[in-house]
Each structure stands twice: as structure tokens, then as C-alpha cells.
Structure 1
């Protein structure tokens, strides 16, 4: 028999998977961006000087070093970021958002926010997820 914690966690995982799938599909379809790419642009756009060390970006995105290297390679190929060496430590590599990256992030923000709201609204009607959606939204209001 599953514990209450297991049931709760299973619900969180279901909600997360459902919403992430909708976000990823909308961003790819409308803006040619993967969800991790969009989130990388978000982090870079709010970072001081629009730059982060590769390891910092990996930590923020919950990715390992090789995954973030591939992601940054895709962003660079699209012209949304560029790499820069750390002036104090030549082994340190920064990823810097470009003007094109800021523009694409801004264009995609409305899609992301609208899709997120719609996905949560739909999930709220699914048996077992409505309470979780309410808890997520209430938690966001309290922490704001």
C-alpha cells in the first residue's frame, strides 16, 4: 500500500510532467526553442551583465556539465548566446546572452506564461491534481 507521501509525490510528478510537456510543445512549435533553452535565456537575461559561468547555468537548470554544454552550443549556433573566457581564470567559460537572445526570450515569454496558465487550469480539472494546482498557486501567492 502506498504511503501518503508517495501518493502526494506521484501527484506532483504527474502535474510536473503534464505541464512541462505542454510548455515544451508550445515553445518548440511557436519559437523553435526547447524548454531548457528558454529557461537558460531567462536566467541569462536576469544575470548581472547577462552572463553566467557554464557551471552556474548548469546548476540553475538542473543539468549536468555535458548537457549544458550541448544546450549552450545550440543557443550559440542560433545566435542567442556567445561564450567568453573569464578574465581572472582562463579555464572559466561564461555564456553571455546576445541581443538576439534577449529578443527571442521576450517573444517567447508570452507563449510560456499563457501556456503555463492554461496547462495549470486544465490540470486543475483532473482528478487528483486539482488540490496540487491550488497548493502551487497558493504557495506562489504567499511567497510573492
Structure 2
């Protein structure tokens, strides 16, 4: 998946999901979705990623097995540049990934919305959306 992201083949990344696979983002904030249901929602979500973030390299990658044979924990760091600002970024991720028959059934991504918004040049918009949100 990371290799496909580096070459910006988002359709191929989405094809790694089971048709009913789920992507969850427990720390999502603002307008970012918390759950994507099914391969096609994942595909739509990823479609414009290369227009926002130009991921150039994965500088760290650790895969940790769990007591379940179908689940791993993946820690990774991506670097690149933000397309809108041309500024460099570094983002850290922790993903709990479950697969069945070679396809992703659950992808729980613990990324930082603050770090991602700052990297994308949208921190002010994220803060504004949080302040407008009804509690």
C-alpha cells in the first residue's frame, strides 16, 4: 500500500480494500470523515490525496504482529511536500490493519488531525470548523 501511495496510484490503493472493508479515523476532526464504509468510499476519499499531499518517502516503518493472525499494527512516518504551499511535511501514523483473503477488512488509522491540517496549510480552517461545531 505504501509503495502505491508513493507512486500516487490511489485507485490501486483502494483496490486493496475488501468490497465491504472499513477505514476508521478515530481522531478525525472538522470535516474529515471518521468512518468510510466499503472500497468505493475509500476510493472517493483517496481520489484527490495527490492534489493535497505529495508524499515523497516513508522514513520509518515498523510492523508489529498481534495475537490475531489477521491483524498487525503498523507504525510509519511519511515525508513530502504540501501541494498548496510547497512546504515540506513529516507525518506520523499508527494503523491497526486487519485483512482477510489478502484484502483489507479494517484499517483503523490513528493520525493527528492537527499535524495533517498544519502540513496541508489548513490549520486555521480546522480550528474554525471545531469552534463552529455544536457541542
More helix by share: 1
- TM-score, length-normalised on structure 2? 0.26
- TM-score, length-normalised on structure 1? 0.25
Which structure is richer in relative contact order (CA contacts within 8 A, separation 6 or more)? 1
More strand by share: 2
